[in-house]
Structure 1
């Protein structure tokens, strides 16, 4: 099974955590074991931890991280146009912007690993209702895919535009989380909570359509179709699951509340 990882690395200078599958697989295995079993057993007879201060710093850090990533990526991809937006292939090794591409991809990858702390905090606060299949699947899949793309295709390319869109969404999302932790009394008054889910849904539609455009229209583009197809499938799956969450949370539940009122 793991023989596939014996294939030559596309980058002769792989970044930390990317030269072997063991670091990412170990991190994700520990994550799953903790959030699905060990953490819950540990917290069973304990009071929820008060992580308000920790969450304030964490969420503010995420806002800064994602905001900076979006700004840098937007500048180089959209303003400077260092690559063809219609076909964002991984730069050749001797390209003048290859290191920039490497570091952007790696920064996004590290951010996805940091995102795993979301679930850890849920466990420690005993917010088990928030640890849904959608939540766990999303975190694991994004982290794993980031690594697999670096390992078998190379850094950057199509993923950087996906990362740019995703980082913008996460900037807004973590700003909401920051306000919720910083001003808990105002949590119910932050009227735009449901619009974060709408933004996420729009994100998946945009990414899926953009990827289909590259795959079906840009015939001369040499991004492997398997990667593009995986992106379309993943975006469609996330659109379905987030859409289901939106309907259950804001449409069906809202209708029930109105009936009770």
Structure 2
């Protein structure tokens, strides 16, 4: 965490792998069957996200943290929160990058969309910055919300691995996307509160980055939702 260069190098490597090198490698090869590996990966993600959610609630948001204005904690549990919540969350965001790798290896390059890659890239950067400068306090609320959402999301993914019928269920897909939109909307409001809160001893600078970031995510996910579940579902009228 001392310098950003290893993280930047990793993210550049990630982009090159999923957008150039791995797709080229897979051009003349059949898709890999990663069913068992992905099932294990999803199960591990559920357990890890549940652990981080539990620790974030136990050490902060269900004990002494305030939703309106939570300064950076320097109490007896501050180091524990930094390690068990913020740093563990950062490691999970690094592991999330395998989502894209699995898409490419299964020859599902259409799912490697701008939204998908931008979201994964951005969350690693945000998590790194949180651990580096503000491992706790107001902005760490995103850890609790995002971990809860990812528990639901990876449970859905695990179900689709074991039963292909879930992949065809628009009910499941639609609500997972709705939960994603709700997540970023909640976080958008949460960071806006930090800007307008009087005499809040938590730095406002992160909010100036995270407000447009979450607004952008709301717009991207809403656009995806409209194109996938509303526009695509409209009947085509005869000329």
Question: TM range, normalised to the smaller chain?
Answer: over 0.9
C-alpha distance in 1 between matches for 2:28 and 2:139: 43
Q: Structure 1, residues 15-40: CA drift from partner, whole Å, max 9, x if none?
A: xxx11212211211110010010001
1:88 and 2:70 aligned: yes
Q: Structure 1, residues 151-205: CA drift from partner, whole Å, max 9, x if none?
A: 3x33122232111001111100010000001112443247322101101111111
Question: Cα–Cα, structure 1 residues 76 and 98, in superposed 2: closer, same or farther, change >3 Å?
Answer: closer
2:181 maps to: 201
Aligned partner of residue 254 in structure 1, secondary structure: coil
2:113 maps to: 132
TM-score by length of 2: 0.93
C-alpha distance in 2 between matches for 1:154 and 1:199: 26
2:39 maps to: 56
Shift of 1:253: 0.6
Q: How does 1:237-256 map to 2 (within 5 A)?
A: 237-256=216-235
C-alpha distance in 2 between matches for 1:219 and 1:185: 51
Alignment coverage as a number of residue pairs:
237
C-alpha distance in 2 between matches for 1:98 and 1:60: 29
C-alpha distance in 2 between matches for 1:91 and 1:161: 13
C-alpha distance in 2 between matches for 1:115 and 1:176: 15
Shift of 1:150: 3.0
Question: Cα–Cα, structure 1 residues 28 and 233, in superposed 2: closer, same or farther, change >3 Å?
Answer: same
Shift of 1:211: 1.3
C-alpha distance in 1 between matches for 2:115 and 2:222: 11
Among 89, 95, 98, the residue aligned to 2:78: 98
Identify unmatched segments of 5+ residues in structure 1.
Answer: 1-17
Question: Are 1:77 and 1:85, in contact at CA under 8 Å, matched by a contact in 2?
Answer: no
Q: How does 1:169-188 map to 2 (within 5 A)?
A: 169-188=149-168
RMSD over equivalenced CA pairs, Å = 1.7
Question: Are 2:45 and 2:154, in contact at CA under 8 Å, matched by a contact in 1?
Answer: yes
Among 36, 47, 55, the residue aligned to 2:30: 47
Question: Are 1:105 and 1:159, in contact at CA under 8 Å, matched by a contact in 2?
Answer: no
Identify unmatched segments of 5+ residues in structure 2.
Answer: none
C-alpha distance in 1 between matches for 2:181 and 2:165: 28
Question: Are 2:56 and 2:81, in contact at CA under 8 Å, matched by a contact in 1?
Answer: no
Which of structure 1's runs of 4+ aligned residues deviate more than 4 A? none
Question: Cα–Cα, structure 1 residues 185 and 196, in superposed 2: closer, same or farther, change >3 Å?
Answer: closer
C-alpha distance in 1 between matches for 2:60 and 2:172: 29
Among 165, 169, 189, the residue aligned to 2:145: 165
C-alpha distance in 1 between matches for 2:136 and 2:76: 14
Q: Structure 1, residues 79-129: CA drift from partner, whole Å, max 9, x if none?
A: 322x3332222223xx20121221111011111100000000001011001
